[in-house]
Structures are given as C-alpha cells and as structure tokens.
Amino acid sequence: MSDTISIDDFRAEAERFLASRVSRRTEERQEWGQGSDRVGLLDEKSREEEQAEVEAAKAWRQAVFDAGFGWITGPTEYGGRGLPAAYDRAYREVEAGFRTPDQGPFAIGLGMVAPTILAHAIDEVRRAYLRPLWRGEIIGCQLFSEPVAGSDLAGIQTRATRDGDEWILTGQKVWTSGAQYSDIGEIITRTDPDKPKHKGLTMFLMDMHAPGVEVRPLRQMTGGASFNEVFLNEVRVPDSHRLGDVDEGWGVALTTLMNERASIGGGGAGGGGAGAGTGRLIEMAQRLGVASDPIVRQKLVGVFVHATVARYTNLRAMAKIKAGQTPGPEMSIAKLALTQNGQRTAALVSDLLGPRLSADSGEWGTYAWSEFVLGVPGMRVAGGTDEVMRNIVGERVLGLPKEPSPR
C-alpha cells in the first residue's frame, strides 16, 4: 500500500532500477542532413522489424513489472501495486530520463483493452488477463470498425449467436492495429438484430489464435501495412468472456472509446500531430531560403501555437485521468486537435517543398515528408472521424442539439 513507501523513496527505487538496466538520455539536437530524415505518423516496419520490436518490448515490460513498476496504480489482487496516481507520475518522470525500449505494441492493450476488462469483466477473467497484459506476456487489440460501419459503431453487422455456454462469432472487422501480433481482442458484436442500433450489441474478449480467426494486412497509401482486416468464421467464445450484460455492449464500448481517444489525442498514435516538431520546420524554411517570408513565418507560428495549445489541453485531460476520473468527451477535443494540427503541418510542408515532396531526388529532409503527408488522412479516421468528433464536442461539451437522424 501507499503508506509503506514514501514517494521520495519510490523515486529513488525507480532511479536505481532504471540506472541498472538502461542508459540515461542525453540532450540531442538533430543536425540537418545527419541521420534518418524519416517523418511519419504511422509505423512502417517490415514484419521482421516489427517482430523484433515486439520481443524487445515484451522483455522490457516484464523486467519493469517484476521490479514493481509495471502497473503502479493497479489493484493488488490483479497484479498491480496499489499505489496512488502520484506514484505513477513520479515513475514516468524518472523514466523519461532514460533510454527505454519502445512500448508501442502495448498501447492498445494497456490503454484501451485492460481498462475495459477491469471495468466490465467478471473476476475470473480479470485475474486471467490483467496481470499478463500488464506484464507484457500477452498483447491485446481492439476489434470495432467494420467495412460498412466505421465511426458508426452502432451499425455493425458482425453477429454473435449463443450456443449453450458459448457464443459463435461470424463477420469481418477492419482497420485493426496490431492484430497480427495480438493474443486477445476486444470485440463488439450484434446479438439482437431486431433491437434499435445502439441496443442489441454485446462485447466479448476473444482469443486471436482461436480457430476461425484470420488476420490479413492492409496496405496503406504510405506503403506500409500498420492495419489489418480480421475475418471471423464461426469463432467460439466462452460466455465467461463476455464484457458486460447481453445486448448492453454500447455502454461497455464507450469505456474503450474514451480511453482510445485519450491515447490517440495524447499523442499515443505517434507523431504528436506535428511531425518532427516546429524546430525542424523552421530549419527547413531556413534551408530553402524562405524563413523571412512573412506568409511562411505566419504559418510556422500557427503550427507552433496550435501544437502548444493542444499539448496543454492534453496535459489537463491526462491529469484528470491520472486522478482516477473517467475520460470524457474532452478527449474528442484532443483527438480533433491532433488531426487538425497534422493537416496544418502537412499543408505547410506541401507549400514549402512543392515538387520535392512527390519526387525523390535524394535530398535529405524533403521527400521523406511524403510519408507524413500521406498518413494524415488516415489519422482523420483513426479513433473516430473528425465529423464524429465535432458532433461529440458540439452535443456533449457545448450543449448543442443532437444532429438530426437520417432515418
């Protein structure tokens, strides 16, 4: 419990652990023309590179967990340390000073799936999955979107039919990040087609290695394959792995969605919405000889100001989450800010580079931005479209009337 160790002793404990395992960060300033010039919003790794990253992430996560820093605020009965949120913040602050392996493969499982399991699963399932998830023994993914129901989750068609103590799932999911290396998936299904759209939905926790599950990569226009489509052919799921009540999955899904937008809006999707940062954009303008152009300067300031405002908005929202409060519609503001800042950056880069953006001349820091520009449209869809986010902000934050139904 929190009264067994002071926060200063906890910090010292974290410092000793990290110093014994990894090197400290040193301040680095990237020199123009030196090192990699890659700028992207999405992972663009080969399957071999991806697998190596997953293995390194798992090994580090297990070491962190075994040292007592894996799930600092989690309930002790499920593998957590049971300490207040202030201790988690303290560890993050100490960890930021060290070079640690990327933990991207766990972003969805720990940021979205685990909180939903904790909130809605039965005790048996919590005990079976929460500790392995937080220790990095297994990885989770989210199976929500479908070919004809993206942001409109209430329109999903994947069916779950009860068969005794099991459910049989049949259908297709799309845009599933990390499905290719995940062990479990949180999935929303339709269990009663005769009820209104937001009713008749039920959530489950599904074994991604079960018979009938097929994962196929989706090639993006950036050239990578960060997402997948998942086909379900009579996949059997125990009723014990149902999350929440039958036909009441919409409320369960909202738990995941709010955590999803917190993760994406807080920069968990990569890139932070502004590519490599304003500094690199300024240096680009200088290299291209347009840094003194008043229009260019105004656009650079616009990118900086909006990115700074988004960062402070995110910090306030994340402080609320760390205080134990449930993410709310304000996370839709963060998600919307992320994509708008990405668009703002992409427009500026396009203006500055012109043909250099579409023709690879080998010049450092130019054509590499094409990956970023091509990735922005995908971010406008991930985690809910901009249009859906605006509706949420309008209705739940500003108190405007609901959008008229098309039916």
Interatomic CA distance for residues 282 and 42, integer angstroms: 23
Closest CA to 224 of 341, 371, 77, 61: 371
DSSP structure class, residue 72: T
Burial tier of 114 (Cβ tally within 10 Å: 0-12, 13-18, 19+): buried
Q: What's the Cα-to-Cα distance from 99 to each of 95, 119, 270, rounded to whole Å?
A: 8, 33, 17
Task: In whole angstroms, give the CA distance from residue 401 to residue 49.
Answer: 48
Beta strand pairing status for 227-238 and 166-174? Answer: antiparallel
User: How far apart are the C-alpha atoms of 221 and 244, rounded to whole Å?
Assistant: 38
Least Cα distance to 149 among 141, 139, 158, 136 occurs for: 158
Q: Under DSSP, is residue 291 helix (H, G, I), strand (E, B) or coil?
A: coil
Distances (CA, A) of 46 to 58, 97, 181: 18, 29, 13
- Written as six digits, the tokens of 169 are 């799932």
260 is catalytic: yes
Q: For residue 297, give every residue at least 6 positions away whose Cβ sits within 8 Å of its Cβ, in sequence order, or none.
A: 291
What is the residue whose two structure tokens read 């599950």? 213
DSSP label at 228? E
Concatenated DSSP letters for 206-219? Answer: EETTSTTEEEEEE-
Interacting residues of 295 by C-beta distance below 8 A, sequence separation 6+: none
Q: Which two tokens stand for residue 100?
A: 């640690």
Q: What is the Cα–Cα distance from 119 to 256, expressed in whole angstroms?
A: 10
Which of 53, 186, 229, 260 is the catalytic position?
260
Please report, as a single letter, which amino acid is at residue 4: T
Under DSSP, the state recorded for 326 is P
Residue 399's alpha-carbon distances to 77, 313, 392, in angstroms, are: 40, 20, 10
Which residues are paired to 215 by β-bridges? 230
Following DSSP, what letter does each residue of 382-401 receive, concatenated? TTS-HHHHHHHIIIIIS-PP
Active-site amino acid positions: 260
